[in-house]
Structure 1
């Protein structure tokens, strides 16, 4: 009788060890706040469920109210893998011990997406030239500070290149996520707002009546597709499982393809590296250089020193880009 109890206990203990080995590692998957958390969870949870089943990892979604929450999560090892935009990925790489290992693919076959400036279809602002000439009269819906398409790209290509300071030249600047900015334009709570073609395509698919209320005033150059970042210090065995999953996901399975399409019109993933961030780094440094050049509060000597340092960084990035 006693030996039977020992046998049962041994079986239970063995089962416990098996369970622990299957889910030995818990990872938090950070997802930047392009929309509200419930909408993001609905789109991403099916993929995360498949990730857990196919890798035997225990991966849990992690949402924050802004991009900085995901960046800081990776920095303090509360997030081990994440879906980022390019600008926020730079922060995760530089401050969070992160490394780009994959990027999303689009059904359209394009290598990326575009930043846009939108207004209501009935707005009095009909052209981008009207907006640029009348910023003092305009309420601007702007992106998260770490957003590539909502902040960095329009700041550089649209505003800085036209001598406009987002902070100083608009009547009001109201930063928010892409979804909230889009609704603010639809409901005439702001005059114009930054956004991107990926979010626009989702709105057209899910709420065509709202999409019909929008007009695009400006479109940026191509932005590289959004990267996936993991912490560099993850065990190699875990990295291998993650890479194998993302390299093969939605390549042929119709159900997986439908899951990717539902996220934001994606078609799967492909390998990438930190090198995809180089053009975004160059853009950020060019923007910083313009700010220094135009800052009347910086002495000529300090300005010269700062510009020389920025030129050195740009030269280093040019060398990386050439390779």
Structure 2
């Protein structure tokens, strides 16, 4: 009798567990390999080092291989998700919004919470501290270095917030150029290729200048090493939501939730790899939703309309 009870209990347990196990096995059969795509915020080597560690962690947690793909530009991540070739995407807020606006079925999962407890950042315009430019108005007819058409801080936010000050980027500046990455925009400014550069800014101690200075990348055209003190901020936007990690909605719900949970658990399960994503400047990942990016969608709609008029 006792043996029959034990066998019956085991059979019930197996029966309850097997649908879940079978479902997990089914998505692993469909997704034996998952691609993580990342926008080129920094140079390819640094981006590979950071997000390669994230791919390693997710491989371990999900039990399927996660392969990193560094995109040549922001649009490549959007199109990679549209084609179904990138299942997990590291977007900027504007590139995520652009993906949604153009019909990509993608869902934001998490964003980083920084050590100062913020879950966002700002767009700024830098000039060299030894230049005569003190205010944005001083840059009329000058050259502005932007990042990428789909960059938030490096293109869309400056256009949107400067317009509120009566400045239309395409007619106010003598020339605008896209540098391709945040680092390249700063390098163009430091080497005198542009008079000002748009970029991302988290805090006085955490911004593109401080990161590049730490890596020894801030140099002028003659190779002289510069410091953040050699630059000046002459424009700062309103607060912007952080860059999300997003997944394709077509993936099974349990797989999407497994990815979200793995990301939320990462600071505790693999702090070394988590810290590598931000040089230790982030404390955790927190959940986000599509609603958090509605203001960015409206920003892009405004910019699109302004360029057509």
Consecutive unaligned residues in structure 1, runs of 5 or more: 1-17, 296-323
Matched with 1:119 is 127
Q: Is 1:148 the equivalent of 2:152?
A: yes
1:22·1:57 contact (CA, 8 Å) conserved in 2? no
281, 286, 289: which one aligns with 1:273: 289
Distance change in 2, residues 1:258/1:162 (3 Å): closer
* Deviation of 1:169 (Å): 3.1
Distance 1:182 1:171 in 2: 19
Write out aligned runs for 1:107-186 (5 A).
107-131=115-139, 135-136=140-141, 138-158=142-162, 160-176=163-179, 177-186=181-190
Indicate how the Cα distance of structure 1 residues 165 and 129 shifts in structure 2: closer, same or farther if over 3 A, else same.
closer
Which of 194, 206, 214 matches 2:215? 206
Distance 1:162 1:72 in 2: 34
Map of 1:48-67 to 2, 5 A cutoff?
A: 48-67=55-74
- Measured in 2, the distance between the counterparts of 1:61 and 1:280 equals 26
| Per-residue deviation, residues 213-265 of structure 1 (Å, max 9, x unmatched) | 22111111110111111100012232122011011111475424432332x83
RMSD value, Cα: 2.4
Return closer, same or farther for 1:38/1:22 CA change in 2, 3 Å cut-off. Answer: farther
- Residue 267 of structure 2 aligns to a residue whose secondary structure is coil
Q: How many Å separate the matches in 2 of 1:250 and 1:204?
A: 26
Contact 1:23 1:58 in 2 (8 A): no
Measure the CA separation in 2 of the matches of 1:66 and 1:195.
Answer: 16
CA distance in 1, matches of 2:68, 2:282: 19
> Does the CA-based 8 Å contact 1:184-1:190 persist in structure 2?
yes
Secondary structure of 1:28 counterpart: strand
Alignment coverage as a number of residue pairs: 269
The reply on whether 1:85 has 2:89 as its aligned counterpart is: no
Give the drift of 1:22. Answer: 9.1
**Corresponding residue to 1:189 among 181, 187, 193:** 193
Structure 1 residue 104 corresponds to structure 2 residue 120: no
Assess if the C-alpha contact under 8 Å between 2:36 and 2:88 holds in 1.
yes
Contact persistence 2:275–2:281 (CA under 8 A): no
Whether 1:230 and 2:247 are equivalent positions in the alignment is: yes
Q: Extract unaligned runs of 5+ from structure 2.
A: 1-24, 202-206, 219-225
Q: Is the 8 A contact 1:156 1:283 kept in 2?
A: yes
Please give the per-residue CA displacement for 1:165-195, whole angstroms capped at 9, x wherever unaligned. Answer: 3223322211122100101111111100100
**Whole-angstrom CA distance in 2 between matches of 1:256 and 1:63:** 18
Contact kept? 2:37, 2:68, Cα under 8 Å: yes
Give the whole-Å Cα distance in 1 for the aligned partners of 2:87 and 2:250: 9
**RCO greater where, 1 or 2, for CA within 8 Å and sep 6 or more?**
2
Moved over 4 A (4+): 21-24, 288-292
- Indicate the residue corresponding to 1:26 in structure 2: 33
